[in-house]
Chains A and B, each alone.
Chain A
């Protein structure tokens, strides 16, 4: 389908035909090895894939995991019918996708959602419909500060705090310039948290905002330079982040600042795209375990994708998050009374009851809890961009910021601390 991936696909097919016997064991759901045959359980998912970006890797991974579950006894013998819709980065299409999946279809939950706008448009719809959303690739405040959405990924706020904390503790940062998008529930929200954090540590931070409609990022970089910062936090999607880095390379600014970034720059294409100039100089927060960690659950994810996914499904951290959401959802469903699997309210209650699920892909425990805010994932890794990949420079660490006080209180209440 895609030029860039064609070669990869061909390679995968070659590997597949040569080494079928070497296929790894997978672990999914009940692990019976028997295909589920009962009445399907309806589950929805919304992703965004259109002109500005492709955020479908979380639903791709979730779909692969559900296919694996269905081939292994399903949920008490019943397969998951996973239906996904594309919001096309269009608010109306996002509302229509939710109408179709939540109102027209008796789905019991939404799993693996990955979008930049869907959650803002639909947060109220989900609340009104009483459906729980176990999202995976979220970048806006609605994913973390509304009652019915819980996301496996950290989003820009948390990942920014992790990067800023690393810069303060290891790189000696005093003043961080946070270059964010001029969008209230994304850049402004997440840069504000960095400012609060830096002030709580006795430092300072400046928010530099880029209008998403602006082609040119150079002026934002210059603004960050002029702010007197010693550290530049590139709180941007990978495309714009690359543009900022190339503008900085042009000015030869590499050694004048510390360069840190949240998870979007943890992408396997980034080291090649930034070029040799930057190798060893950009520190990126990884909200889920980097591929280099490769624990049992990470291997299971890859094996599930190899056997049940499409060859061109991305192996990236949004994919990991989609896999995790689907896995945790399946576990919660398996723990339920089989008679209630079609009851949206009961499934919602079971999801809210999730507490203390673990995976080597995540640093902390996964939980949901009965709250108006959800951010189970607020500990991560720091990696450094090096030639051909990333190098872990700090293992799992929990982010320390006033923002997490209510989350910590909730975790204490759930007995997770």
Chain B
């Protein structure tokens, strides 16, 4: 039981970062940065899901932002149809997206590597069209719930009405997401995944139910993505299909690789690159089109130069500085 709650140095650093995010960051940030950090927090949760699947199982999901859209859609739909508090909407949206992830996974799981990635890309393409066609509910009548004019309000959690409190709430949710992944890693599923990652054949021979555990992983990615979508809906009060394009899903995966899929630091770097960097370029007055060029070039450069991701490179650098600790961690 002790190993379950053992906190590694990296874990302490993660908790410290989350504490900084919850206690200090909201009081420092202006309204603009609150909004940037909040959406960064939402995408951090989604990236955690993709990075986890890639790192633990070598499975590539190119539909994570689409799953966020599914979660966001469900949260908005519930919000405008019933009087549930935010937490209920969040939990239901995350659960429903998890189930959606399972459904997506079952046929996809017969495939590996590139084919799995492509079938998820097709799902992302399909979801993009669905969102563009039916849009997100904003308080209108009927199943799709879309009306013109200004939309109805989206209820935020009662403990997090202000933007500062909502940022804290999102960071706390992201932390929970990381803890959920870590918990899985340390229990039965984690061992199964490790075996599957090494060799599916070996895993099968050892009596591991490969299909179950792969589907489970897909479900977790869906859960995190769905929660992230619901949180994003709470941040903006509404959602727009422009956020959930298939290319964004590919981008999220690319950034997860660039950041480093194996550690929480990598996911954080990916989220910072995805949301904070464009916001900075915007403040510095860089033309939005040129920002695209810079972003793409940075992405290529990082993929080429940092095979373990930026986080891997940094951690390796730190490890070299203190050889003893580096050896122990490895």
Contact = CB atoms under 8 A, between A and B. Distances in A.
A235 B68 CA distance: 32
Contacts of B150: 123-124, 127, 142, 145-146
Nearest to A92: B39
B149 A142 contact: yes
Contact of B282 (A91, A93, A99, A117): A93
A146 B147 CA distance: 13
Interface stretch (A178-186, A262-270, A280-288): A178-186
A49 B146 CA distance: 26
A86 B285 CA distance: 10
A212 B135 CA distance: 12
Contacts of B243: 90-92
A50 B289 contact: yes
Interface string B138-153: 0010000011111101
A88 B32 contact: no
Contacts of B217: none
A95 interface: yes
Interface stretch (B126-134, B186-194, B253-261, B322-330): B126-134
B328 to A, nearest CB: 41
Contacts of A117: 240, 242
Interface in A385-405: none
Nearest to A213: B132
Interface residues of A, number: 36
A50 B148 contact: no
B132 A211 contact: yes
Nearest to B236: A95
Contacts of A183: 132, 135
Interface string A353-394: 000000000000000000000000000000000000000000
B21 interface: no
Contacts of B140: 184
Contacts of B151: 120, 123-124
A50 B237 contact: no
Contacts of A123: 150-151
Given A95-B236, A142-B149, A104 B242 contact: no
A32 interface: no
Interface string B187-212: 00000000000000000000000000
A213 B238 contact: no
Size category, B interface: 35 or more
Interface in B251-301: 275, 278-279, 282, 288-289, 292
Interface string A82-94: 0001101111110
A152 interface: no
A54 to B, nearest CB: 10
A120 B238 contact: yes
A99 B32 contact: yes
A213 B163 CA distance: 33
A184 B147 contact: yes
Contact of B129 (A89, A124, A211): A211
A212 B146 CA distance: 17
Interface in A103-126: 103-104, 117, 120-121, 123-124
B135 to A, nearest CB: 6
Contacts of B282: 85-86, 88, 93
B36 interface: yes
A189 interface: yes
B240 A120 contact: yes
A145 B129 contact: no
B238 to A, nearest CB: 7
A96 B148 contact: no
Contact of A95 (B30, B35, B146, B278): B35
A373 to B, nearest CB: 8
A124 B32 contact: no
Nearest to A184: B146
Nearest to B36: A96
Nearest to A89: B242
A86 B282 CA distance: 8
Contacts of A141: 148-149
A251 to B, nearest CB: 26
B132 A104 contact: no
A199 interface: no
B135 A93 contact: no
Contacts of B240: 91, 117, 120-121
Contacts of B237: 124
Interface string A45-71: 000011100000000000000000000
Contact of A93 (B148, B163, B278): B278
B279 A96 contact: yes
B38 to A, nearest CB: 9
A146 B238 CA distance: 16
B34 interface: yes
Nearest to B283: A100
Most buried by A among B31, B39, B132: B31
A344 B242 CA distance: 32
Nearest to A373: B149
Closest 10 CB pairs of A and B: A103-B31, A91-B240, A100-B32, A141-B148, A145-B149, A99-B31, A123-B150, A99-B35, A104-B30, A146-B150
13 contacts: A85-B282, A86-B282, A91-B238, A92-B275, A99-B30, A99-B35, A103-B31, A117-B240, A120-B151, A127-B150, A145-B150, A184-B135, A185-B149
Given A95-B235, A127-B150, A185-B149, 8 more contacts: A91-B240, A91-B242, A92-B275, A95-B236, A96-B279, A146-B150, A182-B132, A183-B135
Interface of A: 49-51, 85-86, 88-93, 95-96, 99-100, 103-104, 117, 120-121, 123-124, 127, 141-142, 145-146, 182-185, 188-189, 211-213
